[in-house]
Amino acid sequence: MKEKNGLYIHIPFCKSKCVYCGFYSTVNQKDVDKYVSFLIKEMALRCREANGEPIKTVYFGGGTPSVLQTPQLQQIINFAKKCFSFEEDMEMTIEGNPEQLTADYCRNLKTLGFNRISIGIQSFHDEILQFLGRKHSAKEALKAVENAHNAGFENISIDLIYGVNERNNERWQKELDTAFHLPIKHFSAYALTVEENSLLYRRIHQHKTVEPDEDLASIQYNILSESVENSPFAQYEVSNFAMKGWESKHNSAYWHRVPYIGLGASAHSYDGQHRQWNAPNLSGYFTQIEEGKTYYERETLTDIDQHNEFVLLGLRTRNGINLREMEKLFGHERTDALLKYFESEVENNLYQLKDNRLRLTPQGLWHADGITSGAFLTNSVDV
């Protein structure tokens, strides 16, 4: 079993539910203190999983971790430091919503040891924020970045969403220009998608709104790609962009299949051979931890599973797949089969083969899901 190099801590609480969100979260915050105590109980059960190796990245995700008060975050961090060995220069990220990131709160986060902050802005236009169900204004979004910057955060990331029917292409370009002039080092941009258990899904099926326009999303992705070419940022994954040297270490570890420990309700973990996931809601999570039952489900990855993950995760990044590494891990025949698939099934403008690396072009990254699914092996395939 490989050592764990990442620690993910899931905070499932939100002030309200955004229309597009399909992740597990709850707006009922009466159990926040109880949840913190159970996170600590789970940590105590799992201290040994890191095998004494230092944790290189910590990520508080959600939900909305910034709904936690400073003392609650302090409890979690203090116990984590007792449980695990942390690298001195590790990356420690917290996600936050603009309306919660006051000047005082940002200073407190810095004091707690966070050195990276990811702000869920999504848009700089009030009309679009209202459609998405966000509780902050465009003005508050800009203020949150300013507060984080003034608190000493050099590593600031923001999230944006494109492909929203209410936003035309000119407005999207203006939003990108706004982002590029902020004191940020990283941003993520996601196409609006319809998750089956989201409010947006229900509203579409109740005929209260219409589905996102895929053609609009494709055009706005192209605007994004072209704008990034003329900015200080570079695309390093389908949805992630950074100035050189400021790529997210935690998320990059996921794409390179580095093992990590996931704590909290619905959190996932990976050890190189297995993927496991905790109970998907608070009640199940509390019951399993309290009763000392097995608090997770586990899947053993087959050779084919590992091959498909290697292809999927590699092709999502601008570095692509190192063909020498693939041959070492999965053999010459599978590597050759992948190349033949690209030569026969994938348009030339969607990929490049250079220096023993297979990469998707920016346009290819837009089609990454379809391209990679065609490259997957199935259990009935003998390669």
In a domain, 271, yes or no: no
Do both 228 and 363 map to the same domain?
no
Number of structural domains (the chain) is 2
Domain of 320 in residue numbering reads as 303-375
Q: What is the pLDDT of residues 126-170, one digit of tens each?
A: 999 999 999 999 999 999 999 999 999 999 999 999 999 999 999
The answer as to whether 119 is a domain residue is yes
Whether residue 148 is found in the same domain as residue 28: yes
Question: What CATH number does the domain containing 359 carry?
Answer: 1.10.10
Same domain, 244 and 315: no
Q: Are residues 219 and 330 in the same domain?
A: no
What does pTM read for this prediction? Answer: 0.94
SS3 for the chain is: CCCCCEEEEEECECCCCCCCCCCCCECCCCCHHHHHHHHHHHHHHHHHHHCCCCEEEEEEEECCHHHCCHHHHHHHHHHHHHHCCEEEEEEEEEEECHHHCCHHHHHHHHHHCCCEEEEEEECCCHHHHHHHCCCCCHHHHHHHHHHHHHCCCCEEEEEEEECCCCCCHHHHHHHHHHHHCCCCCEEEEEECCCCCCCHHHHHHHCCCCCCCCHHHHHHHHHHHHHHHHCCCCEEEECCEEECCCCCCHHHHHHHCCCCEEEECCCCEEECCCEEEEECCCHHHHHHHHHCCCCCEEEEECCHHHHHHHHHHHHHCECCCEEHHHHHHHHCHHHHHHHHHHHHHHCCHHHEEEECCEEEECHHHHHCHHHHHHHHCCCCCCCC
User: pLDDT of 289-321, one tens digit each?
Assistant: 988 766 678 999 999 999 999 999 999 999 999
Picking from 240, 255, 270, the residue at the C-terminal end of a domain is: 255
- pLDDT digit of tens for each residue in the chain (383 aa)? 455 689 999 999 998 888 888 777 888 889 999 999 999 999 998 988 888 889 999 999 999 999 999 999 999 999 999 999 999 999 999 999 999 999 999 999 999 999 999 999 999 999 999 999 999 999 999 999 999 999 999 999 999 999 999 999 999 999 999 999 999 999 999 999 988 888 888 899 898 999 999 999 999 999 999 999 999 999 999 999 999 999 999 999 999 999 999 999 999 999 999 999 999 899 999 998 988 766 678 999 999 999 999 999 999 999 999 999 999 999 999 999 999 999 999 999 999 999 999 999 999 999 999 999 999 998 644 44
